[in-house]
Homo-oligomer: A and B are copies of this chain.
Amino acid sequence: MESNFSLLEAFKQTQHQVTHHGKRNIQVLQDVLSHLDGQLESDIYGKGTIIEDFQTKIATYLGKEAAVFFPSGTMAQQIALRIWCDMSGSKKVAYHPLCHMEIHEENGLKTLHNIESVLLANKDRLIDLHDVLEMEDDVTALLLELPQREIGGQLPDYTTLESISTLCHQKGIKLHLDGARLFEILPYYQKTAAEVCDLFDSVYVSFYKGIGGIAGAILAGEQTFITQSIVWKRRHGGDLISLYPYILSADHYFEQRVHKMTQYYEGAKELAAYFNHCHGISTRPLVPVSNMFHVHFGFKREQIEPLLIKIYSLTSIGFTGKLNEISNNECSFEVSIGDQYDNISKEALRTVFDMLATEMTLLQSL
């Protein structure tokens, strides 16, 4: 704990960070509100122009009939799967073993909705067509997360995606998109959001990853599906009297950043290459397919932390505030490229990576 705290402190003290858009402080919300008319009326329990206009806008962007704003993706996705289960009568859904629902939601899907999960593929690879072909017969819905965050943000080929979609359609399996980072993968696929979403029956997108809002999510699909989701949103306690702080920020930063996803993606590829040039460091995926990737060190966390702290203090450039222990001889961290990456000059990047390469070579030779 203590050493991790030091890394975090050292990271916070750097002038430039390679990841994200900037600090998560209340300035993020102040900037949204400062240019808006104070007379703008709050949404009230899902009604009003602020929420209705944004829902319509994002439904259109995603090429879906309707959309509803949720305080969280956790809530939106459980509800999506619950609706599909209630429609079919079978309480079984399939997803990846590192799906957000499986590892980050305290078993909400099971304890609140009594839905059983069937895990496809494994912790080292993506779900492929074969996994879906071999899946148990009574699965109601399949959730695909694009990109698969916990393995560095990997993506299937687009043709695989199309084949899975076709197969699900043929078998009557509902296909749900965990699109927490949907905006971020469009440059790689060279598709519009609507084209990708057309392969799915229901779609969730988040507004505080690549978009950089405060919190909140959209669930989109056919009108009948969305109408049901609004009832479930109330049951979950998500139909707040006012969601506008999240909606206004989502809209503000969507406008500011959705067109910058190619820039973030190119930055990720460049940065990953820098890391891969260092001994004992590799990225996952080797070549990013979105704005994100994982950096793996073939060393103990205790060996890497002081090295990073030293580099941060010498260059005032920070990579991460936290290293995850993968095994006794491996640690890693996640990179998500945002606005901050382009604030670092190419010269400064070369300097910091020269330093990192040297340090890693030294470590290798110990």
Residues of A within 8 A of B (CB): 23-30, 33-34, 36-42, 44, 70-76, 78, 105-108, 111-113, 208, 214-215, 231-232, 234-246, 248
Contacts and interface: CB of A to CB of B under 8 A. Distances in A.
A42 B74 CA distance: 20
A246 B37 CA distance: 20
Nearest to A39: B25
Contacts of A78: 237
Nearest to A240: B215
5 contacts: A25-B38, A26-B244, A28-B42, A112-B236, A214-B245
Contacts of A73: 237
Contacts of A246: 245
A72 B112 contact: no
Which of A24, A38, A242 has the most B CB atoms < 10 Å from its CB? A242
B237 A76 contact: yes
4 nearest A-B pairs in the assembled complex, by CB-CB distance: A75-B237, A27-B38, A108-B235, A245-B245
A272 B315 CA distance: 69
B237 A238 contact: yes
A215 B235 contact: no
A38 B25 CA distance: 6
A238 B75 CA distance: 8
Contacts of A25: 38-42
Contacts of A44: 24
Contacts of A244: 26, 29, 214
Nearest to A230: B106
Contacts of A239: 72, 74
A24 B237 contact: no
B234 A105 contact: yes
A264 B38 CA distance: 26
Nearest to A86: B111
B235 A71 contact: no
Contacts of A23: 39, 41
A36 B246 CA distance: 18
B238 A72 contact: yes
Contacts of A237: 70-76, 78, 105, 108, 236, 238
A239 B208 CA distance: 14
A71 B33 contact: no
B26 A248 contact: yes
Contacts of A106: 231-232, 234-235
Contacts of A39: 23, 25, 27
A234 B237 CA distance: 12
Contacts of A112: 112-113, 235-236
A111 to B, nearest CB: 6
A113 B237 CA distance: 13
Given A33-B26, A42-B28, A107 B238 contact: no
A73 B241 CA distance: 11
A75 B75 CA distance: 12
